[in-house]
């Protein structure tokens, strides 16, 4: 707690508080608007770490601010253990082997070990701060951000959140007592209020009350959660289970801490009440947990970024009140078509007065799936500021979502002309070119692939070794068929993100890239020793993978390791008996070992499964017959029968 107080007092002393509005004796002293940029469903704020720009997610659900381990390495921050557990603000402590160990606890009960890094010069909302501690650990956040800004930074005084219009503001009430503080509300506009649970240094989060279908729940207002979610235990109290009518699976999710993936369902809800506001006939995600944040006093629901985007909110800590008004858009389920909620949409914001305001609002609208409104505002913003690379990139991403690739490419190109080092624009343009399937001519496809390769090379050159973008770069290189480059990117990412929840995905990607390199090399009869090594490494990650076993068999067949090739193909066929390539390859190996009966049976069986398999092996120069028998004629019984049937009489 001592850290939070020191930071709070230091910031309040430095904050510019130029504007005050009076209502009787009550005065509200406010900071200028603090610009918030939406990255999808993540509200982000630009800061500086030791003079280098760093973007954080505004996370009202995090008790303290967090940096990822990769970000700490990128900013060259030394790490240390926390040796004074009583001073560790807002985190859990566990005794292991006689010494305290800090760990982060997140969504669904996931845990991750943590250390501490001290930032010597941290710039937040224009104020330079010295020797600010950050917890280091947990999963990489993504979205081009380095960590989370938690309550030890955000909870300096009352805070206003208007993410729909792209800003937040710190507010200091003076002589206001219990007077309502909804100074932004228009005459006649409905104002909702929720009474907050008393907070402490250990539990500083914003926690209120509500109900689901009449059953009381505890709600944490968590801007770091992309969407709102209800615990399965709370849903059951309201009579809702995964087997209830209208409930459908919604995949799995995870939080900042640990490697626990939580099952999710999407459920229709008759009425959700938050404070004095009621949302009727809506949908909520349900998580397969009894408590969303164990240790925080039974949290039944997270009101996530979808709730923040659809409301203008003031957190009045001294009054222990949350004031909010509806701003428009879907409150919870952002995946529904806009027609489902637009009938009940509230008053929209007025026309933007400048490009920056239009850009922020367009990004918020895109996050709420208001694609046509987002396009309108972003196009106007880019016309007002034609040299704004951020605007061009944002407009391009929305054109991608609106399935207008030509306009998207045009705007990505414009962003890169203005700012050639824009990594995100390079990635987006490469991904769009690689995703296209309907090329008018082979030459156009080849030109686009070459251009995509140049974009990927630029990203590899511009990005720090520790950057999260390395994982995405690995997938894109794999999609481009650049398997050696893909392997390098996956390995580089894994070396800095060894404890990240996406490590399993990275291993899968690395195994795929190695398998593809192995198969392509065998197909082209090149780099066979390296191909065999990559296949074996891929099998280390995925020992039961049919496709990797098939590729390994092909390499061994090329190298003349016929008995090993038969073993590889047989292992693949035990897992998938209908894999024609493995059966045909095994048949060739058997014939070359003199096992004529078995070989012919496998060749015939493979062609029954896939008529094209013999032609495919022939194009690779692998025909039935003795080793080196390139182009040797060999007709299986099945092929002979087909030729007889198709011959003219």
State pTM to two decimals. Answer: 0.80
Q: What's the N-to-C CA distance of the chain in angstroms?
A: 94
119: closest CA among 109, 129, 107? 129
Residue 333 binned pLDDT confidence (cut-offs 50, 70, 90): low
pLDDT, residue 86, reads: 38
Which stretches does DSSP call E strand in 328-416?
A: none
Q: Domain 2-174: which topology?
A: Cathepsin D, subunit A; domain 1 (2.40.70)
Rounded to the nearest 5°, which phi and psi values hold at 162? -130, 70
- Express each pLDDT in 397-442 by its tens digit: 999 999 999 999 999 999 999 999 999 999 999 999 999 888 888 8
- Contact (Cβ atoms closer than 8 angstroms) between residue 55 and residue 44: yes
Helices marked H in 542-579: 546-559, 562-575
- Between CA 57 and CA 113 the distance in angstroms is 20
Q: Which residue has the tokens 């990797």?
A: 548
Q: Domain 502-508+520-649: which topology?
A: 1.25.40
415-447 as b/e: b if 16+ CB within 10 A? bbebbeebbbbbbbbbbbbbeeeeeeeeeeeee
- Which SS3 state, helix, strand or coil, does residue 273 take? strand
- Express each pLDDT in 110-147 by its tens digit: 666 778 899 999 998 888 888 888 888 777 777 678 88
603 vs 351, residue with greater confidence: 603
- Contact (Cβ atoms closer than 8 angstroms) between residue 65 and residue 73: no
pLDDT, residue 109, reads: 62
Q: CATH number of the domain at 192-308+318-336, out of 2.40.70.10, 2.30.30.280, 2.30.22.10, 2.30.33.40?
A: 2.40.70.10
For residue 121, the tally of other CB atoms under 10 A from its CB is 14
471: closest CA among 435, 512, 437? 512
Q: Which residue has the tokens 């087997």?
A: 243
- Between CA 332 and CA 60 the distance in angstroms is 18
Residue 99 binned pLDDT confidence (cut-offs 50, 70, 90): low
Q: Compute the half-sphere exposure of residue 388: CA atoms within 13 Å on the CB side of its CA.
A: 21
- Residue 278 pLDDT more than 80? yes
Strand partners, 532: none
Average pLDDT, the chain: 83
Cα dist from 208 to 43, 61, 198, whole Å: 21, 13, 9
- Contact (Cβ atoms closer than 8 angstroms) between residue 110 and residue 260: yes
- Express each pLDDT in 524-580 by its tens digit: 999 999 999 999 999 998 898 999 999 999 999 999 999 999 999 999 999 999 999
For residue 563, the tally of other CB atoms under 10 A from its CB is 9
Please work out, in degrees rounded to the nearest 5, the angle formed at the alpha carbon of residue 13 by the alpha carbons of 48 and 223: 50
Average pLDDT over residues 460-479: 92
pLDDT, residue 432, reads: 96
Sketch the domain layout of the chain as residue ranges.
Answer: 2-174, 192-308+318-336, 502-508+520-649
**Whether the domain at 2-174 and the domain at 192-308+318-336 fall into the same CATH topology:** yes
Tokens encoding 421: 């080092």
- Residue 103 pLDDT more than 70? no
- Contact (Cβ atoms closer than 8 angstroms) between residue 272 and residue 210: yes
- Residue 236 pLDDT more than 70? yes
- Between CA 525 and CA 558 the distance in angstroms is 7
């Amino acid at each position: 707690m001592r850290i939070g107080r020191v930071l709070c007092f230091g910031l309040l002393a430095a904050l510019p508080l130029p504007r005050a509005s009076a209502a009787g004796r009550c005065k509200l002293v406010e900071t200028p608007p603090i610009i918030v940029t939406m990255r999808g469903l993540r509200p982000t704020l630009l800061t500086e770490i030791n003079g280098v720009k760093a973007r954080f997610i505004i996370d009202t659900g995090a008790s303290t601010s967090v940096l990822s381990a990769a970000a700490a390495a990128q900013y060259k921050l030394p790490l240390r253990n926390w040796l004074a557990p009583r001073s560790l603000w807002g985190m859990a402590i566990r005794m292991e082997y006689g010494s305290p160990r800090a760990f982060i606890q997140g969504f669904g009960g996931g845990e991750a070990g943590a250390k501490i890094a001290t930032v010597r010069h941290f710039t937040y909302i224009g104020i330079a701060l010295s020797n600010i501690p950050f917890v280091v650990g947990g999963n990489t956040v993504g979205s081009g951000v380095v960590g989370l800004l938690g309550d030890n930074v955000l909870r300096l005084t009352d805070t206003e959140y208007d993410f729909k219009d792209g800003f937040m503001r710190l507010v200091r009430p003076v002589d206001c007592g219990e007077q309502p503080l909804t100074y932004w509300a228009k005459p006649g506009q409905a104002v909702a209020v929720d009474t907050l649970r008393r907070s402490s240094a250990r539990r500083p989060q914003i926690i209120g009350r509500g109900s689901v279908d009449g059953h009381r729940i505890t709600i944490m207002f968590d801007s770091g959660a992309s969407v709102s979610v209800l615990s399965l235990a709370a849903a059951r109290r309201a009579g809702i289970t995964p087997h209830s009518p209208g409930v459908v699976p919604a995949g799995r999710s995870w939080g900042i801490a640990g490697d626990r993936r939580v099952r999710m369902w999407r459920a229709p809800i008759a009425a959700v009440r938050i404070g004095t506001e009621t949302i009727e006939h809506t949908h909520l995600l349900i998580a397969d947990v009894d408590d969303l944040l164990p240790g925080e006093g039974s949290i039944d629901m997270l009101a996530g970024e979808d709730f923040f985007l659809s409301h203008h909110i003031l957190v009045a800590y001294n009054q222990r009140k949350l004031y909010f008004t509806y701003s428009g858009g879907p409150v919870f389920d952002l995946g529904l078509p806009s027609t489902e909620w637009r009938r009940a949409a509230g008053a929209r914001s007025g026309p933007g007065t400048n490009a920056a305001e239009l850009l922020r609002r367009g990004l918020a609208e895109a996050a709420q799936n208001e694609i046509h409104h987002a396009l309108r505002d972003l196009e106007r913003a880019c016309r007002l500021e034609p040299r704004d690379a951020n605007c061009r990139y944002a407009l391009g991403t929305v054109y991608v979502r609106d399935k207008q690739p030509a306009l998207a490419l045009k705007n990505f190109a414009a962003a890169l002309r203005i700012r050639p080092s824009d990594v995100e624009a390079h990635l987006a343009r490469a991904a769009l070119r690689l995703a296209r399937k309907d090329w008018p001519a082979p030459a156009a496809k080849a030109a686009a692939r070459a251009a995509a390769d140049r974009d990927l090379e630029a990203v590899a050159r511009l990005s720090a070794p520790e950057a999260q973008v390395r994982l995405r770069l690995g997938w894109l290189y794999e999609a481009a068929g650049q398997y050696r480059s893909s392997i390098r990117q996956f390995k580089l990412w894994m070396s800095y993100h060894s404890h990240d929840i996406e490590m399993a995905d990275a291993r899968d990607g690395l195994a795929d890239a190695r398998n593809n390199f192995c198969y392509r090399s065998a197909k082209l009869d090149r780099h066979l020793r390296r191909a065999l090594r990559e296949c074996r490494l891929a099998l280390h990650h995925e020992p039961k993978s049919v496709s990797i076993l098939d590729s390994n068999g092909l390499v061994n067949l090329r190298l003349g390791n016929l008995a090993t090739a038969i073993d590889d193909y047989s292992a693949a066929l035990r897992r998938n008996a209908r894999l024609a390539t493995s059966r045909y390859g095994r048949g060739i190996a058997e014939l070359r070992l003199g096992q004529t009966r078995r070989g012919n049976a496998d060749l015939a069986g493979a062609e029954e499964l896939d008529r094209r398999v013999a032609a495919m092996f022939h194009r690779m120069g692998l025909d039935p017959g003795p080793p080196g028998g390139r182009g040797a004629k060999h007709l299986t019984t099945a092929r002979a029968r087909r030729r007889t049937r198709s011959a003219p009489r």
